[in-house]
Amino acid sequence: DLVDRFHAGNIVKQVAAIVGGGGGGRPDMAQAGGTKPEMLDKALDKVYELVENR
């Protein structure tokens, strides 16, 4: 169970800023939105970085 290691809401808050938006959620589920869909690849790269460095 990864909930003990990662808080989905915190990850989404950090990543949503990259796509010009916001987000959040619970430890086990989160969602976000943004106004810069062209930045999605960069945002997903940030997710991988956050998870790998944890």
Give this prediction's pTM: 0.83
Q: Is 19 exposed, middle or buried (0-12, 13-18, 19+ CB in 10 A)?
A: buried
Write down the pLDDT at residue 54.
83
2-52 folds as Diaminopimelate Epimerase; Chain A, domain 1 (3.10.310)
Secondary structure letter of residue 53 according to DSSP: T
Between the two ends of the chain, the Cα-to-Cα distance in Å is: 15
Residue type, 47: V
5-45, pLDDT tens digit by residue? 999 999 999 999 999 999 999 999 999 999 999 999 999 99
> Where exactly are the structural domains of the chain?
2-52
The SS3 call for residue 24 is strand
Q: Which residues make beta-bridge pairs with 33?
A: 22
